[in-house]
Structure 1
Amino acid sequence: MSSIVDVVVLVAISVLGAALARRLGFVAPLVLLVAGLGLSFVPGFPEAHLEPELVLIGILPPLLYVAALQTSIPAFRRWLRPILLLAVGLVLVTAFAVGTVVHLMLPSVPYAACVALGAIVAPPDAVSATAIARRVGLPRRVVTILEGESLLNDATALVVVRISVGAMSGVAVGFWPILGQVALKAGGGVLIGLVAAIAAAKLHRKIEDPLLDDAVSLLTPFVVVIVAEEARSSSVVAVVIAGLYLGHRIPYLLSPTSRLQMDAVWRLMTFLLEGIVFLLVGLQLREIGGGITTSVGTTVAVTAAVIGTVVVVRFLWMYPATYLVRVIPRIREREERPPIAVPTVIAWAGMRGVVTLAAAQTLPDHGVPPYNRDLFIFVAFAVIVFTLLSQGLTLPWLAVRLGVRQDTTTADALAEAGVQHQAGRAALQALEENADGAPTEVVERLRALIDSRSNNAWERLGNQQQETPSAAYGRLRREMISAERHVFKIARNEGRIPEEVLTRAQRELDLEESQLQRSDD
């Protein structure tokens, strides 16, 4: 779609679809995918063509970047071993397993092309994995592993796709050459990501205008991916490393105003991109289905075989990767043995997404010998639709059925209360050291504020069935703010205050009310 009208229509549909999903209690990507599939059959609806460059350079980098910004480095480092086993090991195994199965079914197709298809359908999607895992309320360990896998597996898959496409000229594709190329390109991505992150951090330290901070943050993932592509390194790894580095240091780099404003900007960007991406994936059905020349029987057989291989290989990998490594004493002592339900849920959370479709579009038109490119693109599309709808819709049920639910609320509240107590003592000490000459009522008001925050933290450990003092405070204060806001609006309408006064007062009230909302959440 190229016209402005078509873009506006896409945005409007994605917003309406997201609103419908929230009302129905579904995950927005699934609703938008179904909407796209349905709209692809509507006569006269504009056709959508998803350019690979648009996805890999224009859409994927900001989504990966914001996901990395929100990822905890300590948690990521703690679970790095299972993350790498999934993001590198499982992707390589899946690529060769699918490639072997497809080559056995289509012996005339070059093995390199079959491995390329395997790499295309191997990586679960970062957007769907994060959205569904958080919506389901899985344990933090599971969410961290799924997020870490989806942040890094695209790099492995895209490198394998490029090597396999290059090998279609007749050069043999081997496991160890591919592993070496993955390591080389990933290493270059790590270096570029670190250098770019350090440069961006220095810029943020010198910038005092929140708008300029937003501009630098928005430009960072695109600059990183362009530099990495020019250097022929992994742009995905570079963007992820830059996001992890900057996300860990944001509390020290940005002013409070910049952090609040940047959070709002990225939330809007992510909301719009995620919606448009899954809507576009669904809209591809008309174009992809119309290009297939292979017989229906062959198409169905190959598609079913690839879907089955993708799902089964993930399960076969998860259990040994979870339990066999615990024969190593160091790992056994450091990590407790999870119940079998945990790897089962992780194995089922293998939803594919837009990267799979974009990578499929990069396949060349001809191979040696020739192969049916449209068939491979359709298979990739079918894997996306099947995994998103079957696994995405049933993952909440499976997690509840197996008892894999978030169980860290009490532990989080206890840890927060303890740290809040320490923070309160530090704040009171700072108050005593700097209170000379300040009015007594101001000092007492600040002491009361610290006591209130400490009490709020401890309240979260108490009885949640009745209204706590902090909840009552929030409810009553919101009613007061609404009354204050109404008076200011009336005064503006009557000409007693200028628009600038209303804007300033409205901002102060909005900030306070948003803080109350965050406390409730």
Structure 2
Amino acid sequence: MHLTTVIQFVLLPAVALAIAALARARGWPAPLLLVVAGLAIGLVSARMPGMPSYELDPELVLLVFLPPLLYSAALDSSYLRLREVRRPVGLMSVGLVLFSTAVVGLLVHAMVPDLPLAAAFALGAIVAPPDAVAAVAVARRLGLPRRVITILVGESLFNDATALTAYRVAVAAMVGEGVSLLGAAGQFAYAAGAGLAIGLALAYACGWLLDRLTDVLVGSAISLLIPFVSYLAAEAVHASGVLSVVVVGVFLGHRMNRTGYGMRVVSHSVWKVVDFCLEIVVFGLIGLQLPLILRGLSGQDPWRVAGYAVAVLVAVVVARAVWLVPGAYLPRLLSRRIREREPRPPAAHVAVLGWAGMRGVVSLAAAFGLPDDFPARDLLLFLTFVVVIGTLLVQGLSFPMLIRRLRVSGDQEVYGDNLAEAAAQQAAATAALARLDELTGDGVIETHAEVVDRLRDNAERRAMGAWERLGGGVGPQGEETPSALYRRLRREMLAAEREVLVRMRDERRIDDEVLRRVTRELDFEEATLARD
């Protein structure tokens, strides 16, 4: 086997896995450590003759990495919470992306007058969408308020669709396809509308199929194909594949409780592993691009290029802050309905959102996807790389400190979740006991009283355990064997518990995270009842 193949497919993933394991053990943000390690490895390998280069393949990122990462994030998101923050998410995933595109495009065109405006706008679209993987990882570890995390997740789910569409419009205008402002707006509307329609159609079809599958392995394998099918189906008709994938993921995640317990348990584990593997490879690849990008700048004035890079990096960061402050407060001044429906965002929350603008591999992939004869392609690649590395390291490394300094915390929500979980467990146990009384009302209890007693004790113990975690300290006959009867009745009780929990989620009495946590406990218990 060729040495290059071994390095690319064995050694690099193994090194990335070791670095990620170290970061997890020490509580460090793994994406940032992987970027730094990639930079170091790239610089060392550039000085070693015979070492292969690691040029990022845009098709690999957009077709292999992006769909499953988006789908997994959407699957684990909350449709109800996303619906509550749809206005700020829309302002950031659409308005902020277009604003950043315009700011960066105009700035670069002013600094480099020979660069066509369309090419400058292409760069703006490339660096406009943040990648919230690193920010969300830090936010969850430090316990940020749920609304802030939901806005970050929602922005990262939808902003790629806006940015990639703007990127295609700008590239098309640059290569002479004659795109007008009205035509660009039409492309946006078509890409979004068709992507949404395809996503909804596939979501219903996939939901129908997964509901009827009893083979867990087959269902899990199909779930791995869903993001790729969704993306390619939309891209085949020049619609937004990103939006299609996100719609399918959010839809299926919201109705995941309709599938069997085995599908939920296996699917959760599978996507955790897929996420982990893809993320460590993606962030490791970012740093490895440095030697290749630097080689493309040979012959240019390094100080001038460095000045361009710093100016673009600052513009990206400042544009986000400039947009977020009025975007957070101006609509409240103009609309009474918004004031009544949404809480006033604290200034600390706005500051955290403003600093959570780390860019990622999608920006690099889009830059590498520029045609070889694109004006100033090497310069645009370098500027993109500096923005990605600069935001990841400067904002990413200082993000935890900012959160602590501003004392932004979601501790009250954690207590509220625990209280809501205890109440949900109590309501679910009550429903389970009521279902048990229905099932045993025909005399079964007289024959197998010990079975019913065990079931009743189990339900009561589950409800009492939830309250104790809060610190309160309170709390067919015939040939069917007692063990078979116990399993059958307990499954019926678990179904009754799930029904109550889903209804409480839909009524917004508990959050999706609470639902998933409690449902996972029920799934594990049902798994112990299963027999081959």
Same fold (TM over 0.5): yes
Report how far residue 433 of structure 1 moved.
Answer: 1.2
Q: 2: CA distance between counterparts of 1:175 and 1:460? A: 59
1:385 corresponds to: 389
- Which region of structure 1 is more displaced relative to structure 2, 395-404 or 102-111? 395-404
Tell whether 2:324 aligns with 1:318.
yes
Identity among equivalent pairs (%):
48
Q: 1: CA distance between counterparts of 2:336 and 2:65? A: 43
What amino acid maps onto 1:366 in structure 2?
D
1:42 alignment partner, SS class: helix
Q: 2: CA distance between counterparts of 1:232 and 1:177? A: 14
What amino acid maps onto 2:366 in structure 1?
A
What amino acid maps onto 1:66 in structure 2?
S
1:347 corresponds to: 354
1:502 corresponds to: none
1:481 corresponds to: none
Q: 1: CA distance between counterparts of 2:373 and 2:319? A: 29
Tell whether 2:403 aligns with 1:403.
no
What amino acid maps onto 1:272 in structure 2?
C
1:363 alignment partner, SS class: coil
Structure 1 regions of 5+ residues with no counterpart? Answer: 471-510, 517-521
Report how far residue 405 of structure 1 moved.
Answer: 1.2
Is the CA contact 1:27–1:135 (under 8 Å) kept in the aligned structure 2?
no
Tell whether 2:145 aligns with 1:139.
yes
After TM superposition, list the pairs within 5 Å mapping 1:19-418 onto structure 2.
19-43=21-45, 44=48, 45-169=51-175, 177-252=183-258, 254-293=259-298, 294-327=300-333, 328-367=335-374, 371-407=375-411, 408-418=413-423
Report how far residue 514 of structure 1 moved.
Answer: 11
The 1:330–1:514 alpha-carbon spacing in structure 2 relative to 1, beyond 3 Å, is closer
What amino acid maps onto 1:460 in structure 2?
R
1:223 alignment partner, SS class: helix
Q: 2: CA distance between counterparts of 1:442 and 1:111? A: 76
Q: 1: CA distance between counterparts of 2:294 and 2:191? A: 34
- Which region of structure 1 is more displaced relative to structure 2, 62-71 or 414-423? 414-423
Q: 2: CA distance between counterparts of 1:456 and 1:400? A: 33
Q: 1: CA distance between counterparts of 2:142 and 2:264? A: 28
What amino acid maps onto 1:286 in structure 2?
P
Report how far residue 469 of structure 1 moved.
Answer: 9.9
What amino acid maps onto 1:72 in structure 2?
S
What amino acid maps onto 1:104 in structure 2?
A
2:343 alignment partner, SS class: coil
1:504 corresponds to: none
Is the CA contact 1:63–1:127 (under 8 Å) kept in the aligned structure 2?
no
1:188 alignment partner, SS class: helix
Number of aligned residue pairs: give it.
468
2:517 corresponds to: none
Report how far residue 46 of structure 1 moved.
Answer: 3.5
Report how far residue 364 of structure 1 moved.
Answer: 1.9
Is the CA contact 1:129–1:147 (under 8 Å) kept in the aligned structure 2?
no
Encode CA deviations 1:374-409: one digit per residue, 9 max, x unaligned. Answer: 110111111111111111111111111112111301
1:426 corresponds to: 431
The one of 433, 436, 446 equivalent to 2:455 is 446
Encode CA deviations 1:30-87: one digit per residue, 9 max, x unaligned. Answer: 1111111111122345421211011001100000000000110000001000001000
Encode CA deviations 1:453-509: one digit per residue, 9 max, x unaligned. Answer: 11222123227xxxx799xxxxxxxxxxxxxxxxxxxxxxxxxxxxxxxxxxxxxxx
Is the CA contact 1:416–1:457 (under 8 Å) kept in the aligned structure 2?
yes
Is the CA contact 2:172–2:178 (under 8 Å) kept in the aligned structure 1?
no
Report how far residue 336 of structure 1 moved.
Answer: 1.5
The one of 17, 20, 38 equivalent to 1:18 is 20
Report how far residue 177 of structure 1 moved.
Answer: 4.5
Is the CA contact 1:14–1:272 (under 8 Å) kept in the aligned structure 2?
no
Question: CA RMSD of the aligned region, Å?
Answer: 2.1
Encode CA deviations 1:80-99: one digit per residue, 9 max, x unaligned. Answer: 00001000000001001000
Report how far residue 127 of structure 1 moved.
Answer: 2.5
Report how far residue 351 of structure 1 moved.
Answer: 0.6
Report how far residue 346 of structure 1 moved.
Answer: 0.1
Structure 1 length-normalised TM: 0.86
Structure 2 length-normalised TM: 0.84
What amino acid maps onto 1:92 in structure 2?
L
What amino acid maps onto 1:278 in structure 2?
F
Q: 1: CA distance between counterparts of 2:190 and 2:456? A: 56
Q: 2: CA distance between counterparts of 1:78 and 1:164? A: 33
1:41 alignment partner, SS class: helix
Is the CA contact 2:265–2:523 (under 8 Å) kept in the aligned structure 1?
no
